[in-house]
Amino acid sequence: MPKHARFPLLISIFGFAMATAVPLAGAEPEERAGAVHGRGGAALTLVGPALVVGQPAPPSTGLRDKGLQPAAIAWNDGTVRIVTTAPSLDTPTCSKQARAFSERAAKLEGIAIIFISRDLPFAQGRFCAAEGIAGITVLSDYYDGSFARAWGLFIKELGLDARACVVIDGTGIVRYVQIVADLPQEPDYDAVLAAAKSLQKK
């Protein structure tokens, strides 16, 4: 190859490297080591920015419904919501969590409950049918975990969603956050419901 022909190639390669390197340099996700603990007390890392009470709820990007279709949620439509996340319905604690919110949903008026895990929608459907889960919306974060990452609830070591409960008011503002520090434990249901009920219009 003639010497003069090498320069465009080098410039092209250098330009490509710069174009790919710049975005990656500023794309490091926020991580909170030891934010939660798994079985045996193992420290686990949550990926993504921490939710802040008083700030708008992050987008619902990445969620899928039972038909594998994107499930977009408008947080500011006037509905008070409880968003509860869990690692997998194929575990005792997560299944208890889903049943507990399903049972409580029947006694709530004007409050929507959304249950999210990384189980495939098909598995979620089978579980709900077998357990008689009703009154709550069950969605999946299986596709790429982007929902949990946006909400700061993605467990780095497990590739699963953390166990958490978030209350969002009708304008889309986060009003209560409960991240269960000990993963094998259930949420404090009474505290979550009290926070949601306090936002209902009198």
Contact yes or no for 198/79 (Cβ under 8 A): no
Active-site annotation, residues: 94
> How many angstroms separate the Cα of 33 from the Cα of each of 27, 46, 151, 153, 155?
18, 6, 16, 12, 10
CB 83 within 8 A of CB 100: no
Long-range Cβ pairs for the range 99-107 (8 Å, 24+): 99/131, 99/133, 100/186, 100/189, 101/136, 101/189, 102/131, 102/132, 102/133, 102/134, 102/135, 102/136, 104/189, 104/193, 105/134, 105/135, 105/136, 106/134, 106/135
E-strand ranges in 73-173 read 80-85, 111-117, 137-140, 154-155, 160-161, 164-168
56: which DSSP letter?
B
